[in-house]
Amino acid sequence: MKLFLKNFEEIISGSFLIIMVCLVILNVILRYLFNYSIYWAEEVSTICFVWSVFVGASAVYKNKMDIGIDALIVRLSPEKEKITRTVAHLLTILINGYIFYLSIVFTFIAYKKPTAVLGISSAVYNSALIFGFGLISFHSIKFLIEDVKGRRA
């Protein structure tokens, strides 16, 4: 259970990616071999893709694998490096927090709008934004606290 909680973003993102790829491959095989297509496959694949991207972005940020300006920061003195990292974390928290808020608003607006094929709420797509940007904001706050306390290099 601890392993799942530690890696749940990677597990969720990877699961959605696997479902998407398998569904697309199955649909292609059915289309070319049996001249039959699963009518809902494209919509479900799109939902899986959206969730995989936004939850995956959070996993990338959590593992510090995102593109950064470390090449410039490491050349600074330790004091200036800490200040620069703190400012970067604060900006990340502000920007992602704002996008998180907009995602909530956007999801409430789209809640009553049904999807084209399945007729389910469009909030299924948009809630991935809430989840992804919420987690990135959470990790940014965690990194800021670690930097201020001096636990990270």
The predicted structure's pLDDT at residue 153: 46
Comparing CA positions, the residue from 2, 9, 121 lying closest to residue 60 is: 9
The predicted structure's pLDDT at residue 72: 74
Using a cut of 0.85, tell me whether the model's pTM lies above it.
yes
Read off the pLDDT of residues 81-101 as tens digits, 9 standing for 90 and up: 888 888 988 999 999 999 999
Question: Which amino acid, 76?
Answer: L
What distance in Å separates the CA atoms of residue 60 and residue 123, rounded to the nearest whole number?
A: 24
10-residue averages of pLDDT along the chain (153 residues): 85 97 97 94 97 96 79 80 87 95 94 92 94 95 89 54
CB-based burial label for 64 (10 Å; 0-12, 13-18, 19+): exposed
The predicted structure's pLDDT at residue 106: 94
The predicted structure's pLDDT at residue 85: 85
The predicted structure's pLDDT at residue 77: 85
Report helix, strand or coil for 126: helix
The predicted structure's pLDDT at residue 69: 64
Q: CA of 14: how far to CAs of 6, 49, 57, 63, 70, in Å?
A: 14, 10, 12, 15, 28
- Give the N- to C-terminal CA distance of the chain in Å, as an integer: 29
- CA dihedral sign of residues 50, 55, 58, 63: negative
Task: Quickly list DSSP for 38-102.
Answer: -TTHHHHHHHHHHHHHHHHHHHHHHTT-S---HHHHTTS-HHHHHHHHHHHHHHHHHHHHHHHHH
Report helix, strand or coil for 5: helix
